[in-house]
Structure 1
Amino acid sequence: MSEPTGEDEAFADGTPEDAPPARADFGDAWVYESIVGAVPGAALSAPVAIALQVVVFEAGILALAAVYGLWDAVPAGTAAVGVAAVGSLLMLTLGDENRTLAVSPTYYRLLFGSSIEVVLAVLAFAGVITHLFVVDPATGGVAAVVARLLPGSVAPAGESIVTELFGDQPPVPAVYLALVVVWDLCYRIGTSWWTAVVSLYRELRLECGPGTRLRFRRLDALNVGFAFVQLALVPFVADRPILLFAVLGHVVAVTVVSGAAIALSLTKE
């Protein structure tokens, strides 16, 4: 067990286990939570905020599908909206629950104040955009990738995923909405990964009471649950090896890191 030092030692010695942590001058909410709480004239509860998110996105998907005849894109879009909605629920739940637990302010500074989840989301989004508009058109799906691995073979000219979903001349509004949904997904996936990393750091470096550790384990398990929800995207990227590897790799990474945090917590009981 690591020894608390500095502000961690002061916290461990002077704060009751069930009391909320002392706040320093740094952010104590994720960007998404801040947006939900800052809508002028509206005090949105979690269910209302998530329902509004689903209705707006899904209505946009269906309307654009009707206008441009893009019904083949609806299942993928609906799955993405559903996963993002579960991610929103996770973020609001983790945010509310984490802020009631007694642990060093260092934990809250890392989890909320750093905004690293936004950086991770930007990197993930840039990677997806690069793949969609550069890599995928050059590879054309799994058939082309496999063909390139066979000696003397000629790779077929497969369709890119953008062409497959939106046609040879993708409508601008449909692509715009798709990219907004992709960003929504990337942000929640980035938050999930950062939560897992901070959880492992918490168990390696910080101290908290037994009751608090039990609640943290439940939150870590919830984060793993969200990672598995993302498997709903697999059928839509199964023929795109890079995207498939990215989705499955993220699920495995969150499971391993959060699982390690849970295992370390159990050794401290």
Structure 2
Amino acid sequence: MSRSHPRYESDIELYGDTWVYESIVGAIPGLDLSDGQAIAVQFLLFETGVLVLAWRYGLWSAVIPGTVAVGVAAAGSGVMRQFGRGTRRLDLPEPYRRLLFGSSIETVLGVVAFVGFVTHLFVFDPRVADVPLLEALFGSEPPVPAVFLMLLILWDLCYRIGTSWWAAVVALWRSWRYAFDAETVRRLRRLDALNVVFGLTQIALVPFLFDRPVLLVAVAGHVVAVTAVSLAAMATLTVESDR
């Protein structure tokens, strides 16, 4: 039988044992949303912004890629909440929980991904593309509000991509370092599979990147890497009696 960690029997999220995103949501007074409600609110807020700006500036060609990015980011939020809650309910080694939640490495990885994208968008792409991505989306004179919303959505997406990558890497280290009872192994494999599912949702971004080879390789490479590392973590999980 899987053992619940005594500190988390009430499912209270303690700061230091959550990702930055969870800490921010948990710190908002009076806000107690279910996973479905939180995803719906996030999607509706961003999607409303996409549609309003498309109407205001006539940017209807940007609606579909914007909606896909919003949807993938919202899916990432749902995975983070389920993954975090499911992990805290298990009796897992403190070093693993500290690495996963307390190091904030997922934020660092998100920043690196976002800075890389911004550099590509404003420096590299205009030098090599016949029509830079910014111009393809918003025209020759991009409206400031539209660019602001695009960068906000992409930061949201980059942060969740960083979290997915960090969860996969730490999971592989966990599987190599520790053994667990059979029920905990089963639940950890389900959580790792959840991370794979989020990685695969990012394939939805690929059709918009066929003419941007650098971004295409970055996104596709990330999906393949997270999937491979997560599957390796699942495969190498060991039941205590096996060692």
What TM bracket, shorter-length normalisation? Answer: over 0.9
Match of 2:157 among 174, 185, 209: 185
Does the 8 A contact of 1:64 with 1:70 survive in 2? yes
The one-letter amino acid paired with 1:40 is P
Cα RMSD after superposing both structures? 1.7
Q: Kindly provide the CA deviation profile for residues 132-159 of structure 1, in whole angstroms up to 9, marking residues without a partner as x.
A: 000111110xxxxxxxxxxxxxxxxx11
Q: Are 1:48 and 2:37 matched, yes or no?
A: yes
Q: How does 1:74-223 map to 2 (within 5 A)?
A: 74-140=63-129, 158-223=130-195
Q: Are 1:245 and 2:230 matched, yes or no?
A: no
Q: Compare 221-230 and 170-179 and name the one that shifted more.
A: 221-230
Give the aligned partner of residue 52 of structure 2: 63
CA-CA distance at 1:21 after TM superposition: 6.1
**SS of residue paired to 1:197:** helix
Q: Whose Rg is larger?
A: 1
Does the 8 A contact of 2:182 with 2:239 survive in 1? no
Q: TM-score, normalised by structure 1?
A: 0.84
Q: Are 1:38 and 2:10 matched, yes or no?
A: no
Does the 8 A contact of 1:26 with 1:109 survive in 2? no
The unaligned stretches of length 5 or more in structure 2 are 9-13
Identity, in percent, stands at: 57
Give the aligned partner of residue 3 of structure 1: none
Which runs of structure 1 show a deviation greater than 4 angstroms over 4 or more consecutive aligned residues?
266-269
Q: Kindly provide the CA deviation profile for residues 23-78 of structure 1, in whole angstroms up to 9, marking residues without a partner as x.
A: 9x970001111121111222222211111100100000000000000000000000
Does the 8 A contact of 2:175 with 2:238 survive in 1? no
Give the aligned partner of residue 146 of structure 1: none
The one-letter amino acid paired with 1:163 is E
User: Matches of 1:72 and 1:122 in 2, distance apart?
Assistant: 28
User: Matches of 1:256 and 1:162 in 2, distance apart?
Assistant: 32
Does the 8 A contact of 1:22 with 1:105 survive in 2? no
Q: Are 1:261 and 2:243 matched, yes or no?
A: no
User: Matches of 2:131 and 2:146 in 1, distance apart?
Assistant: 18
Q: Are 1:18 and 2:3 matched, yes or no?
A: yes
Q: Kindly provide the CA deviation profile for residues 202-223 of structure 1, in whole angstroms up to 9, marking residues without a partner as x.
A: 0111232111011101111111
Q: 1:84 to 1:246 in 2, by over 3 A?
A: same
Q: TM-score, normalised by structure 2?
A: 0.93
Does the 8 A contact of 2:15 with 2:23 survive in 1? no
Does the 8 A contact of 2:179 with 2:238 survive in 1? no
User: Matches of 2:2 and 2:48 in 1, distance apart?
Assistant: 46
Residues paired across the two proteins, number? 236
Does the 8 A contact of 1:103 with 1:207 survive in 2? no
The unaligned stretches of length 5 or more in structure 1 are 1-15, 141-157
User: Matches of 1:167 and 1:183 in 2, distance apart?
Assistant: 22
Does the 8 A contact of 2:176 with 2:237 survive in 1? no
